[in-house]
């Protein structure tokens, strides 16, 4: 008998990648979305779409009925533990068998950032939920570099407030494939495990810039900036102040050396090495390349 997997955070980066992998494996998928108008791509893939909100516990029960496996991804924010609680409660009421939860690297009650501390609360709740559970704690996403794509394309530079930090960054596609591996395996196989997921090596952003330059065929430069400068930039783009504060805390932690480590977990789960930064840059080169001038194009 096939199992139904409920995907939360269904239109986000990680869940989108996970949906693609699971559909390729023939899984029966259901997605929880807040805005039905943004779910057309999911419906086109044959995903069953339910509208609900992790902020509203009363909106959730219909979505969870008949689900065996829950992919639990909560948005970053001060209400993250409440969101996790609402989902876990709905899952228990619906007799869901397994929860696979996306946490964050370094989640702990004494983490140097509020995201890590909030996720630690939700991790603890998940461990005591009475269902089978697995927690994934991925490192910094290589896909975060896509936030810098416009600057790289236009000026050949990008700026972060991480100084000379070394980070064991990971491709989101590897996170998705690890999550799929857990969800497709027998529910007992990964029960009680917390997996820390990283890329194959720690990198500085100078090294990232060098790799971008090699693939793109032009000079790319990383320009470290201070916290205040990055804060002004993010606020100027309309990023909420809570998120800006959280990102600043992460940047400070990384600059202190907090993110300079890797694990073998991706290779252990997938039977292959994690993707390197070279793979990421090659596969996303178009995002960092200036758009072709339409006037020149038709000359």
Torsion of the alpha carbons at 22, 143, 167 and 262, rounded to the nearest 10: 10
Q: What is the mean pLDDT of each run of 10 residues along the chain (299 residues)?
A: 91 96 94 92 94 97 98 96 98 98 98 97 98 98 97 97 98 98 97 98 98 96 98 96 97 98 98 97 95 40
pLDDT at 208: 98
pLDDT at 177: 98
Q: What φ, ψ does residue 55 adopt, rounded to 5°?
A: -75, -20
Sheet holding 193-197, edge to edge: 48-51, 28-33, 4-7, 69-72, 98-102, 132-138, 193-197
In terms of DSSP H, where are the helices of 30-161? 40-44, 61-64, 80-93, 114-127, 149-155
pLDDT at 291: 73
pLDDT in tens, 112-147: 999 999 999 999 999 999 999 999 999 999 999 999
* Contacts with 200 (C-beta within 8 Å, 6 or more apart), sequence order: 262, 273, 274, 275, 276
Domain range 4-139+171-197, its CATH number among 2.60.40.10, 3.30.465.10, 3.40.50.970, 3.40.50.720: 3.40.50.720
**pTM of the prediction?**
0.95
* Listed residue (180, 190, 164, 185) closest to 257, CA to CA: 164
Distance of alpha carbon 159 from its chain centroid, rounded?
Answer: 21
Residue 169: strand, helix, or coil: coil
Measure the CA–CA gap between 79 and 77, rounded to whole angstroms. 5
Domain ranges of the chain: 4-139+171-197
For the chain, report the end-to-end CA distance as a whole number of angstroms. Answer: 60
pLDDT at 294: 39
């Amino acid at each position: 008998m096939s199992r139904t997997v409920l995907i939360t955070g269904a239109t986000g980066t990680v869940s989108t990648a996970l949906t693609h992998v699971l559909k390729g494996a023939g899984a029966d998928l259901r997605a929880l979305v807040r805005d039905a108008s943004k779910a057309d791509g999911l419906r086109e893939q044959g995903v069953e779409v339910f509208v609900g909100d992790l902020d509203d516990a009363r909106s959730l029960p219909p979505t969870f009925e008949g689900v065996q496996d829950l992919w639990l991804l909560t948005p970053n924010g001060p209400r993250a533990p409440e969101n996790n609680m609402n989902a876990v409660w709905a899952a228990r009421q619906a007799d869901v068998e397994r929860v696979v939860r996306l946490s964050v690297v370094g989640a702990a009650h004494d983490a140097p950032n509020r995201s890590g501390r909030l996720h630690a609360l939700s991790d603890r709740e998940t461990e005591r939920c009475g269902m089978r559970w697995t927690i994934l704690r991925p490192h910094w996403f290589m896909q975060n570099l896509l936030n810098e794509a416009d600057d790289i394309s236009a000026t050949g530079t990008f700026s972060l407030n991480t100084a000379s930090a070394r980070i064991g960054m990971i491709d989101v596609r590897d996170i998705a494939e690890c999550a799929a591996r857990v969800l497709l395996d027998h529910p007992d196989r990964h029960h009680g495990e917390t997996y820390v997921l990283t890329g194959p090596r720690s990198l500085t952003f100078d090294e990232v810039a060098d790799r971008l330059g090699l693939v793109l065929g032009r000079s790319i430069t990383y320009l470290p900036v201070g916290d205040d400068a990055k804060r002004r930039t993010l606020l100027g783009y309309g990023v909420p102040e809570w998120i800006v504060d959280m990102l600043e805390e992460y940047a400070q932690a990384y600059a202190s050396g907090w993110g300079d480590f890797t694990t073998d977990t991706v290779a252990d789960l997938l039977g292959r090495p994690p993707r390197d930064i070279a793979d990421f840059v090659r596969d996303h080169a178009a995002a960092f390349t200036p758009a072709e001038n339409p006037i020149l194009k038709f000359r």
